[in-house]
């Protein structure tokens, strides 16, 4: 046990440490008043017997502990009669530097840029636009790489496979096309089946299958289709929604969640395409869904170290390790944002009733996103604000105000400390989680910002919008 010098022996505080889910770590401790977060971190590392010194953040009654224990208790008037519960949260070991400047403005698209996505290993960048092309960009030289023609109408969604080998793009006429990122050429024929435009694409997680074969697509015609890239056709069609499906997510447990304009969320299983559960509760269209493990599923086996894998088995194992670490043995959580100005927190594996209802927005919620470590949920709404909620309980934490137009999309940095938001007022803003305030203003776009993405290695942010240029931001 590391020794902590006692300043005033008479004013000790009895407390016990608990983790985010409430499980108590060991017996109650007698700590001196001037113990601060650093001393607590040291203590916790020795109790947990970790090899490296992992950083932690401590919370007493949901307020972060930033000064010494005594000062914090005095400030917040916490009574010392009861045994104090200190909740600890692990923080990411690496720290992402905030991006401050626009390093490049790359023109190329002839119409508005509708979606932007970094590949999971952060080496490639792709964007889909209203001029019916998908373009690949070279991040290191900040120039265009390939232009992929083929779609006949606006390219609405793009999605990288978790092993970085394929890119799928969905367009306004209901077609999906696959592209090879190394050559920029189309792979196979276009996949037809949907009758109206594609609203979302989700790949099967890497830990379930590598090389990635299957993905799900949601469309306005109310169907979710599961496609196989090797067979080049639709293997399953999950119909059940009566109105357009706005969002589809493939969870790490092997379920597919689809949110629709008919105010319901349906949970499907993927072997036979059967409906498992229907989550009802919203009063208006479900616009967006977010899973607590979404970031890990999107990046697959790749993480901030930038390690490359040679064989599929290695990738699968690495992806599984990352997934179980991110899940922390608790069931996956799902947050849905809707046009009825509220969000619901669900635990689909345990039941069909919502765990919490998150109200507070004054306009429709356009985008919700879990932080990569699952601690927080951020929601972007048309009421010009971004709200932060607790990822485990759904409790409201704070509102980020600053935008003067509806906020369209948000993106987290890989260490969950920074959040960037793009809005209709043509600015992007970066918010800090430690201070819960605005960190950086990123102006520069000439028109509405439609898509924002932070690279998984945290180096760059890419954004595209109505002004037809792609902007890359660096620190």
Residue among 20, 57, 442, 461 that touches other proteins (CB under 8 A): 442
Counting beta carbons within 10 angstroms of the beta carbon of residue 465, is it exposed (0 to 12), middle (13 to 18) or buried (19 or more)?
buried
Q: In what order do the strands lie in the sheet with 12-18?
A: 24-32, 12-18, 84-90, 56-60, 63-64
Please say which residue, 28 or 443, places its beta carbon nearer to other proteins.
Answer: 443
Region of 122 (left: φ > 0; alpha: ψ -120 to 50; beta: rest) is left
Residue among 177, 225, 249, 367 that touches other proteins (CB under 8 A): 367
The nearest distance, CB 104 to other proteins, in angstroms, is 17
The nearest distance, CB 112 to other proteins, in angstroms, is 5
Binding residues among 303-362 for other proteins as defined by CB under 8 A = none
The nearest distance, CB 258 to other proteins, in angstroms, is 14
**What is the distance between the alpha carbons of residues 293 and 206, in angstroms, rounded to a whole number?**
13
The nearest distance, CB 52 to other proteins, in angstroms, is 40
3-state SS assignment for residue 73: helix
The nearest distance, CB 445 to other proteins, in angstroms, is 9
The H-or-E segment that residue 405 falls in is none
Using the 8-state DSSP alphabet, how is residue 2 labeled?
A: -
**With contact defined as beta carbons under 8 Å apart, do 100 and 420 qualify?**
no
Please say which residue, 322 or 471, places its beta carbon nearer to other proteins.
Answer: 471
Site string for other proteins, 277-306 (x = CB under 8 A): ----------xx------------------
Strands (E), 75-222: 84-90, 101-107, 113-118, 124-129, 134-138, 143-148, 155-160, 167-171, 176-179, 198-203, 214-219
Using the 8-state DSSP alphabet, how is residue 13 labeled?
A: E
- Please report where in the chains the tokens 């369209």 appear, as a residue: 408
**With contact defined as beta carbons under 8 Å apart, do 170 and 192 qualify?**
no
Residue among 251, 270, 366, 421 that touches other proteins (CB under 8 A): 366
The nearest distance, CB 289 to other proteins, in angstroms, is 12
Please say which residue, 41 or 129, places its beta carbon nearer to other proteins.
Answer: 129
The nearest distance, CB 66 to other proteins, in angstroms, is 30
The nearest distance, CB 466 to other proteins, in angstroms, is 8
Please say which residue, 91 or 288, places its beta carbon nearer to other proteins.
Answer: 288
Residue among 57, 451, 452, 461 that touches other proteins (CB under 8 A): 451
Q: How many CA atoms lie within 13 A of 5 on its CB side?
A: 1
Site string for other proteins, 93-132 (x = CB under 8 A): ------------------xx-xx-------------xxxx
Please say which residue, 304 or 384, places its beta carbon nearer to other proteins.
Answer: 384
**What is the distance between the alpha carbons of residues 408 and 419, in angstroms, rounded to a whole number?**
13
The nearest distance, CB 471 to other proteins, in angstroms, is 13
Structure tokens of 104? 């490049």
**What is the distance between the alpha carbons of residues 268 and 277, in angstroms, rounded to a whole number?**
7
Please say which residue, 127 or 299, places its beta carbon nearer to other proteins.
Answer: 127
The nearest distance, CB 371 to other proteins, in angstroms, is 21
Number of residues that bind other proteins (CB under 8 A): 41
Contact status: 169 vs other proteins (CB under 8 A): no
**What is the distance between the alpha carbons of residues 3 and 467, in angstroms, rounded to a whole number?**
60
- 313-333 burial: b if 16+ Cβ within 10 Å, else e: eebbebbbebbeebbeeeebb
Site string for other proteins, 387-426 (x = CB under 8 A): -----------------xx--x---------------xxx
Site string for other proteins, 174-203 (x = CB under 8 A): -----------------------xxxx---
Please say which residue, 199 or 385, places its beta carbon nearer to other proteins.
Answer: 199
The nearest distance, CB 113 to other proteins, in angstroms, is 9
Binding residues among 125-164 for other proteins as defined by CB under 8 A = 129-132, 152-154, 156-157
Residue among 246, 251, 299, 336 that touches other proteins (CB under 8 A): 246
Torsion of CA 209, 452, 191, 254, to 10 degrees: 30
Please say which residue, 150 or 211, places its beta carbon nearer to other proteins.
Answer: 150
**Considering only CA atoms, which of 215, 231, 233 is closest in space to residue 165?**
215
Please say which residue, 16 or 154, places its beta carbon nearer to other proteins.
Answer: 154
Q: Other CB atoms closer than 10 Å to residue 59's CB: what's the count? A: 15
**What is the distance between the alpha carbons of residues 294 and 391, in angstroms, rounded to a whole number?**
13
**Considering only CA atoms, which of 455, 465, 466, 469 is closest in space to residue 140?**
455
| Helix-strand-coil split of the chain, %, nearest 5 | 10, 45, 45
Please say which residue, 173 or 459, places its beta carbon nearer to other proteins.
Answer: 173
The nearest distance, CB 386 to other proteins, in angstroms, is 16
- Interface with other proteins (CB under 8 A): 111-112, 114-115, 129-132, 152-154, 156-157, 197-200, 220, 244, 246, 261, 287-288, 366-367, 384, 404-405, 408, 424-427, 441-444, 446-447, 450-451
């Amino acid at each position: 046990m590391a020794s902590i010098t006692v300043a005033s022996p008479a004013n000790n505080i009895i407390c016990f440490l608990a983790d985010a889910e409430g499980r108590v770590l060991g017996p109650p401790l007698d700590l001196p008043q001037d113990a601060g977060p650093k001393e607590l971190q040291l203590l916790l590392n020795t109790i947990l017997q970790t090899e490296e010194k992992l950083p932690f953040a401590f919370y007493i009654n949901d307020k972060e502990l930033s000064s010494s224990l005594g000062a914090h208790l005095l400030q917040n008037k916490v009574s010392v009669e009861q045994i104090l519960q200190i909740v600890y949260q692990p923080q990411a070991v690496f720290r992402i530097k905030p991006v401050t400047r626009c390093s490049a403005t790359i023109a190329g698209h002839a119409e508005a840029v509708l979606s932007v996505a970094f590949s999971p290993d952060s080496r490639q960048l792709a964007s889909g636009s209203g001029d019916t092309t998908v373009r690949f960009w070279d991040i290191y030289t900040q120039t265009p790489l390939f232009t992929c023609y083929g779609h006949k109408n606006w390219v609405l969604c793009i999605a990288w496979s978790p092993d970085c080998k394929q890119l799928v793009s969905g367009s306004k006429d209901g077609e999906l096309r696959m592209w090879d990122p190394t050559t920029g050429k189309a792979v196979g024929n276009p996949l037809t089946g949907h009758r109206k435009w594609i609203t979302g694409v989700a790949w099967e997680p890497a830990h379930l299958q590598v090389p990635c074969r299957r993905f799900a697509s949601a469309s306005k015609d109310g169907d979710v289709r599961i496609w196989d890239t090797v067979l080049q056709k639709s293997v399953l069609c999950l119909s059940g929604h009566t109105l357009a499906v706005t969002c589809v997510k493939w969870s790490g447990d092997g379920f597919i969640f689809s949110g629709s304009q008919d105010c319901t969320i349906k949970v499907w299983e993927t072997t036979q395409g059967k409906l498992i559960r229907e989550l009802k509760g919203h009063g208006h269209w479900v616009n967006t869904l977010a899973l607590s493990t979404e970031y890990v599923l999107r990046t697959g086996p790749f993480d901030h170290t930038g390690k490359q894998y040679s064989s599929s088995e290695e990738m699968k194992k690495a992806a599984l390790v990352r997934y179980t670490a991110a899940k922390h043995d608790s069931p996956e959580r799902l947050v849905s944002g809707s046009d009825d100005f509220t969000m619901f927190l669900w635990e689909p594996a345990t039941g069909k009733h919502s765990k919490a209802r998150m109200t507070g927005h004054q306009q429709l919620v356009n985008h919700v996103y879990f932080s990569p470590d699952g601690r927080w949920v951020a929601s972007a709404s048309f009421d010009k604000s971004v709200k932060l909620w607790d990822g485990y309980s759904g409790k409201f934490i704070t509102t980020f105000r600053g935008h003067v137009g509806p906020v369209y999309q948000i993106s987290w940095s890989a260490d969950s400390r920074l959040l960037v938001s793009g809005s209709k007022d043509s600015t992007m803003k970066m918010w800090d989680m430690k201070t819960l305030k605005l960190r950086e203003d990123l102006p520069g776009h000439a028109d509405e910002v439609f898509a924002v993405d932070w690279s998984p290695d945290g180096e760059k942010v890419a954004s595209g919008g109505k002004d037809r240029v792609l902007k890359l931001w660096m620190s």
